[in-house]
Amino acid sequence: MLKSGECSVCKKQIITPVCILCLTDEIESWVDNNKVSLVKEYRIYARDVMEKIRPKQILKCSVCRSNATCNICPVCFAEKIFNWLAKKDKKLATNFAKDFKKNLKQIQPGRQLFA
């Protein structure tokens, strides 16, 4: 059993909950700007990640302010996407890490992306 507010991947407290839809959207617009040909595949992969993460827990999302599924911390989600991108395009993955590193450090202090 997860304690409330815990990330189901790293088991740490999610400091700034962002719902899975906002996470997916944010990264999707990045993919769209950087490699539009991957958007379709990205959507499929992101949906797959969403479906595999259990258990579902409802928290107040800090982005859209609605009560929504927040069962993965933004860092773990970005890491999954990074690993997926790295398999497709190394350079693209490096750019992704660069763009998200700073942002994620602020929303999940103490947790570094790709450390």
Residue type at 6?
E
* Helix (H) / strand (E) containing 34: helix 20-34
Instruction: Kindly write out the interface string for residues 59-88 of this chain, putting x where it contacts Zn ion by CB under 5 A and - elsewhere.
Output: --x-xx--------x--x------------
Sign (positive/negative) of CA torsion 29, 33, 39, 42?
negative
CB of 58 to Zn ion, least distance (A): 11
The two tokens of residue 43 are 């959507």
Rg (CA), the chain: 13
CB of 105 to Zn ion, least distance (A): 14
**Which CB, 64 or 90, lies closer to Zn ion?**
64
Backbone angles phi, psi at 110, to 5 degrees: 90, -15
CB of 114 to Zn ion, least distance (A): 13
Size of residue set near Zn ion by CB under 5 A: 10
81 half-sphere exposure, CB direction, 13 A CA radius: 33
**Which CB, 31 or 61, lies closer to Zn ion?**
61
Binding to Zn ion, residues 11-70 (CB under 5 A):
19, 22, 61, 63-64
Binding site for Zn ion (CB under 5 A): 7, 9-10, 19, 22, 61, 63-64, 73, 76
